[in-house]
Amino acid sequence: MMQVGFPKDFLWGGAISAHQAEGAWNVDGRGPIKRDYLILDKKTGKRLVTYVDENGNHCKAALENGPQLPKGCHYACFEDCYYPDHDGNHFFEHYKEDIALCRELGFKIFRLSIAWSRIFPKGIEEKPNEKGLSFYRDVFRELKDNGIEPLVTLWHDDTPLYLEEECGGWQNRKLISYFDHYALTCLKEFKGLVKYYLTFNEINNVLLFLDMFNGNATDEMYRKAYQELHYKFVASSHFVKAAHEYDQDVKVGCMICGVPFYPASADPKDIMLSLEYMQRGIYYSSDVLCKGEYPDFARKLYAKHQVRLDISEDDLKDLKEGVVDFYSFSYYMSSVVTVHQSDDLVSGNFAAGVRNEYLDYSEWGWAFDPLGLRYFLELINDRYRLPMMIVENGLGANDVLVDGRIHDDYRIRYLHDHLSEMKKAIADGIELIGYTMWGCIDLVSAGGEMKKRYGLVYVDKDDEGNGTYLRIRKDSFAYYQKVIRTNGEEL
Ligand code: P53
């Protein structure tokens, strides 16, 4: 029989990541990551990295082409700069209060990430940092005690800095074994506490962002992106295999940045172009993780940039044996592409392409497209037939406190419209098992702004780091609470 409403064990919840929420960046032995050296440049609204050059000069620069600094330079923090990720939203100190709020909301699941560098500060150690392990053990226990299942991302863009600076980052095959050691340590240490894992957050961004935001990407950049992806795919497959062998209860998902690409016109050239964006941006990564092998069209992509992968027979075997249990993805917006010239371009942070005249855009240029979510669910269901989970979705907006309250009816509308499309997809037979709304408690955005807020809960902190970090329930809090209480009957 067709499912009508949400399944009764639907996993309602919210999501955060370590470096955007925890703060306590240098507490209890946590090692540094590149994000710890990123500031928000007020003039351009862009993130800059701070470092010292070989003569000891203080420098700031946009580092768009990877983590490597010029020769002789070292990442450094300066007294007169504010580093938003150093504090996050103070989840490290506030987690009990935050989990109590999640319980009040009725969450069944809470997505968070483990900071690799809390467990292995440099990434190369043999023995894990006990204090790091005990922090996460406490958090997971607190969640369990509150009837909430943790959904754990192993990597949310936070490779230990040592591995990036000294080992060449993910261009180095050795990263696979360092990651394996970290991931297997988590698997063993958190046995019985964690049932759901995701390996690499938005793993496809490496390629997707080259396409979307870097019209001038060189062959060399593409070659590096494909190589990095390959090593991450292999590392991911190792974890899936190990998890399945070690603990029958554990389920592992991929994590794909889900942007459907639309053609701007019915010109077959535009149709073909949008297909190629889907192939490179979405299917290339998803196919490897969900089907265990590279798609046929990979050959076409490699030919375009003369890619020669470092890839072994063992790798291919591992990819085959380590396919994920469910398909998880983030969904914020769709994007439009064309071969034709257009002046009407979308601009915003991490948004690109041609403006879609049928859609509204957020203050940050992200297309509001709930139907695009259902479209994406259909595409993915057709291709993989796996249970699906939406592990990020939400609206980044500049919420304003009025008499101590946030009336975020725009966020309620955003949620309502996306949840309605999910409900329709489920009625059409799509196996959707969970939804974790992004940034359920306000946190630092990927672009470094605090004022781009996603939460059901407001956190009193501004872009310069001023504030009490007090938590305040927004109007959307009561809305989502009702949705969960009625299991989506009332949207
Ligand atoms: P912010 C771009 C496009 C889609 C998803 O993004 C993205 C990004 C930026 O990397 O990232 C995910 O904070 C990411 C989160 C991030 C969230 O989307 O730029 O997994 O870490 O905060 C929202 O508004």
Q: What is the dihedral of CA 298, 258, 20, 118, to 10 degrees?
A: -40
Residue recorded with tokens 């923090």: 77
Q: Is 392 part of the annotated catalytic residue set?
A: yes
Say how far apart CA 110 and CA 444 lie, in whole Å.
Answer: 18
Q: How many angstroms is it from 51 CA to the middle of ligand 1?
A: 25
Note the pLDDT of residue 352.
66
Pair of tokens at residue 312: 């072994």
Q: Is 126 part of the annotated catalytic residue set?
A: no
Q: How many angstroms is it from 313 CA to the middle of ligand 1?
A: 35
How many CA within 13 A on the CB side of residue 404?
Answer: 2
Q: How many angstroms is it from 202 CA to the middle of ligand 1?
A: 9
Checking DSSP bridges between strand 109-113 and strand 251-257, what pairing results, if any? unpaired
Note the pLDDT of residue 3.
56
Residue recorded with tokens 């999910």: 422
Which atom of ligand 1 is found nearest the CA of 202?
20
User: What DSSP assignment string belongs to 81-146?
Assistant: ---HHHHTT-HHHHHHHHHHHHHHHT-SEEEEE--HHHHSSSS--SS--HHHHHHHHHHHHHHHHT
Say how far apart CA 200 and CA 149 lie, in whole Å.
Answer: 19
Which class for 464: exposed (0-12), middle (13-18), buried (19 or more C-beta within 10 A)? exposed
Q: Which of 64, 201, 330 to mutate to test the pocket of ligand 1 (most atoms within 8 A of CB)?
A: 330
Task: Ligand 1: list residues with CB < 6 Å.
Answer: 17, 20, 201-202, 257, 330, 332, 349-350, 392, 396, 438, 445-447, 452
Mean pLDDT by 10 residues, the chain (491 residues): 81 98 98 96 89 94 72 93 97 98 98 98 98 98 98 98 94 98 98 98 94 79 96 98 96 98 95 95 98 98 96 98 98 93 69 87 95 98 98 98 96 98 97 98 96 98 96 98 97 95
Q: How many angstroms is it from 332 CA to the middle of ligand 1?
A: 9
Which atom of ligand 1 is found nearest the CA of 366?
3
Q: Which of 85, 392, 444 to mutate to test the pocket of ligand 1 (most atoms within 8 A of CB)?
A: 392
Angle at CA of residue 35, ends 448 and 74, nearest 5°: 130
Note the pLDDT of residue 66.
59
Q: How many angstroms is it from 57 CA to the middle of ligand 1?
A: 32
Phi, then psi, of 237 in degrees rounded to 5: -65, -35
Pair of tokens at residue 428: 């059409």
Helix H or strand E encompassing 475 = helix 475-485
Note the pLDDT of residue 250.
98
Give Cβ neighbours of residue 290 (< 8 Å, ≥ 6 apart): 254, 323, 324, 327, 383, 384, 386
Helix H or strand E encompassing 240 = helix 219-246
pTM to 2 decimal places = 0.97
